[in-house]
Structure 1
């Protein structure tokens, strides 16, 4: 005999509608969603609209994987709570003592993300994804375990000391989800680098510029952060091929960043069969431009002096800027 759960829950598979005990096939949750190496714009709208589908992807080895969680609200009325995500190398039985200390974090280093559904049957999705760069694991896969905690159901991780306890855990705890995930090296970067960014107390329009020195044409670059800035937007440059150049090329994105925003930005490089020459260098810069009303204006540089692309130079015409910080990766 089954009963209906009455809170935020993760499905075990697409045929799960919140019954307790849950249906079998526990390791296929479509609500743990590895979405690839870039964050999704407006994830609430996107993942709520395809709730009837499993849109999860394989994990990319050695690259940033952005992982979203979604729940359905079976409570009577609004409901909110925090979600968290764990991982473990595959095991025939996923006893909690194997994974409960392996907690994944978001780009801004949070281990819990608040979600809220405004009414019964609403889908609640994380706006701030978890990010993970999994190591290659030979002839095997990883398992991801999600958890949602609400005031009604805190869903503390239980002590499981027997297969009977594990059976109860799988069948009677809809606040947990389970998903086996495979690895692929398709689109895996040659390397990537993570750097911390802190906006402090001034909100502003910031330019994030990636400078490529002695980077061969045909190679590719990208950078991203999962922490949303404004209106569901992210700091993200999708994979871009470096054109044939005479030693120096750059590209940039511009974002309105709120005060006290913090995140980790990951910038990535794909050799694509090329060989970096001597002097290879990637430099991530953050810059800010001001107009002539600023007291700093006459002491700053023109967009051209800062190496702006023609598009950025047009956008910043009449303004001057400063490089507030850089992070460099140098080839060997």
Structure 2
């Protein structure tokens, strides 16, 4: 007897797949008992990683929904036995960045690696892969060519029986209520590796096999709670390359108003990662600063830091923004205080004295205030511009 299965090539996001191939009957035995073919997700909190899976099949605790606040040290925190025995709340918030993590346990006898993709699909009783492949959620890591976000993260060299978490955070920047009167979404996760190509589903039995026998596919239903959508939103990468020689250093991120109305508007900023001290890199909802003025946040970052900043602007009862208006996000670096670095900054004409004094005044009275102004140097800028 031969079992007809689907065995397509590994494909990228949203590509068309080819038809079936034939495999041996030994496949039947491989589909029973403990899942031992690599890193897997549990369909529900009661699952111990065995197949065929038992209901519920759409409550995976390994799709961890952190909501609007990132998890500190998530690769460690979400891989503990205590965390593995828990499930995150199943709610996302409309109109603001939501942070999602994916973890898995390695059921193979040897170490395993896999890419991981996540999809946020409008709800449906049957989640056909030809549909959910259209709804990829990007990570907070920029694409190498700088043009598109990454839609995959990785779990690398995970030891047998160990729990691992993807290296990057999935960020749904501005979720909106699904169409058709629904009130929730389905998160779908695909472990993309040579042994688990994108599921090629052409029949009802194909779909049934996918959700009961393939634990490298995960499903979790999530509800949406109301939230206010931003009038304007921008995203920007915040990266400290690994080859920067200095270690942990202090930075400030300033959001400067370059033409938006100064009344009736508010803004907020969030980041997909915490700083190296475990502090949020965030600006809570504040009034739009005066023209040419800024609001800022101070943070400590180390080489290798990579995250996504999201800036939201809200029009309340103010006038419309006009063409030419802009908001700038400007990162600056605080000198480490050593005479050698200060002298080099002065010799090279890099110190922004006005900004140094402005930041000293801005942070006065806070727990990060300095006794006297520390010299800062600008490192670049990114911005939102009204056309």
Q: By the TM > 0.5 criterion, same fold?
A: yes
Give TM-score scaled by structure 2 length: 0.70
Secondary structure (helix, strand or coil) at the match of 2:357 reads coil
Residues 1:236 and 2:297 are matched in the alignment: no
1:114-159, Cα deviation, whole Å (9 max, x unpaired): 22575444321224211113233242232221122456xx211222
Residue 71 of structure 1 is matched in structure 2 by 104
Please show how residues 100-249 of structure 1 align to structure 2 within 5 Å: 100-108=133-141, 109-116=149-156, 119-132=159-172, 133-138=174-179, 139-140=181-182, 141-150=184-193, 154-186=195-227, 189=230, 191-199=232-240, 202=244, 205-211=250-256, 219=266, 221-226=268-273, 236-237=281-282, 239=284, 241=286, 248=293
Residue 91 of structure 2 is matched in structure 1 by 58
Runs of 4+ in 1 over 6 A off after TM superposition: 276-281
Residue 296 of structure 2 is matched in structure 1 by 251
Residue 321 of structure 1 is matched in structure 2 by 376
Residues 1:24 and 2:55 are matched in the alignment: yes
Secondary structure (helix, strand or coil) at the match of 1:268 reads strand
Deviation at 1:52, TM superposition (A): 2.0
1:233-285, Cα deviation, whole Å (9 max, x unpaired): 58721635559x888562312222426x55432123456x6647989975421
The unaligned stretches of length 5 or more in structure 1 are none
Give TM-score scaled by structure 1 length: 0.81
Distance 1:282 1:130, change over 3 A: same
Distance 1:57 1:40, change over 3 A: same
Distance 1:104 1:42, change over 3 A: same
Distance 1:66 1:316, change over 3 A: farther
Match of 1:296 among 345, 349, 353: 345
C-alpha contact (below 8 Å) 2:264/2:319 kept by paired residues: no
Residues 1:264 and 2:308 are matched in the alignment: yes
Aligned residues: 325
More RCO (CA 8 Å, sep 6+) = 1
Deviation at 1:97, TM superposition (A): 0.9
